Structure 1
């Protein structure tokens, strides 16, 4: 059995910074209200007229990750792309990456697991490498939220949270079973699917029906979140996923050198940090700058933590996420 390890990391966020003060000019909100509930100070939103899309941002992050891995796009054997905001309803963004980076005709798969998308994507890539099927896999998380948010007072509970951005990792084969991904753990609970969702458009609410309606006031086209309900489940499932990963590898919370939680809400991260008695040096958060970038949040945070020198050789790194579905999971790795 082979093992898989990260050999290259990269991220990209749009230049356009949107502060809480900027949002207060669009809707009835203010900086104190947003920071108290989410911890977010600013986020990045793609400007109108920009070339950026989920696929384009993913390609930009991927080029950085591939170069840092010491590879070229021709060396990539497979693509796993996680997003809830693809450029098209179909096909998925993975095939666009194959074309944008002028790769060989490698396979591409898209992961639609929202906030836990990157954790799921890493698990999928890890299994392909462990079985010996592929040697170098490009794993991407990218989101273009700003184009689909209700930027009025009606939608402020959701729209103040989300930002745009992308991150990418190259996962490569290694024969050293003491390094790389030690285990991954995935879960779902579909009975809560409509607690965090976009109900339409969908196959049940498709183009002819949309065209017939005056949909300007149809809230189903915008993200809906039962915030308190989601929060209560998130803090439980985050903890469960981390404990499961540690137990599988006979580790303790004290062994964690760096926890990278999905950047959903700073209050969730702080709750988990306190529960596991981790110091500020053991947890990395950047939601203050970027908001919740859903499938991109874990990989952007992981890349930033590594760039800042907070992750070193032989460190135990834990990735954990929870989100719509509900889906949640963790990845335990030795750097």
Structure 2
């Protein structure tokens, strides 16, 4: 390759990278509010370099929803939205900020269960919401257990379904009136398989908080230690968060099946410690301690657990199912103690 051609190629690469950088920029803080415990806030920012004419008549614009950590003083996650006002329809739970049929942003620390319960009781039940997919907006209305979806002309495009949620940029998952999973495209027309795409990552540029956890083995104990840094992965401030006698443990590791875990604020990771006691299992969390189970399957998320002959998904569902299949995107099939079959979503809601 000639020197001149190399210069041209390098210039093009720089131009492309610069263009992408500017295209994803946002500005402003709109609709800001706080989590029930005040440790997080949510807000929306508008896209600077995108065409917003389709929503101008609604005095709305496309942009991103951000979750800000008020304790660590950094952004912990972001998601694109086609109308920034949709942030007002997002809801807090113990582990995430999410919107029906839209985004879900995981939280690095849990919100207290009791505070969430009070928040949910004080929040009006939302029976109408919007579904945004590739520039198309649908209005979703739920009455009882059935859902109706209308287009911008108020024409019904889906009727008497039980569940609807976007699974990527190209497809939507629904449960029909017979409680069967179906997939539809952005026009809400059926096809046989969901279009599998990798969702875009919207990371935080610049300096981020870094985390390191490790399990140290001594002559008589396993010690779980944690350190927090800033940008650098060189840690010297480890503190002990859990200690367990070695004689009680057959094996112990993080979800990655290793005894070391490092991550940063751009790529949050679950800090669960899986403990094999030989005849039972435990899952340790820094905030809640150890919960005990007869079986734990941590090969995929959410973690599947078993206790007293019944199954559940850890921190997602109760442990009450005779059968519980893996999640197919947002839904997992189950059979309850009355031999009744249905589906449960990732928020623990059941559909029969």
- Shorter-chain TM-score: which interval? under 0.3
Using the size of structure 1 for normalisation, the TM-score is 0.21
Larger Rg: 2
Using the size of structure 2 for normalisation, the TM-score is 0.20
| Structure with a larger share of its residues in strand | 2
| Structure with a larger share of its residues in helix | 1
By relative contact order (CA 8 Å, sep 6+), the higher-ranking structure is 1
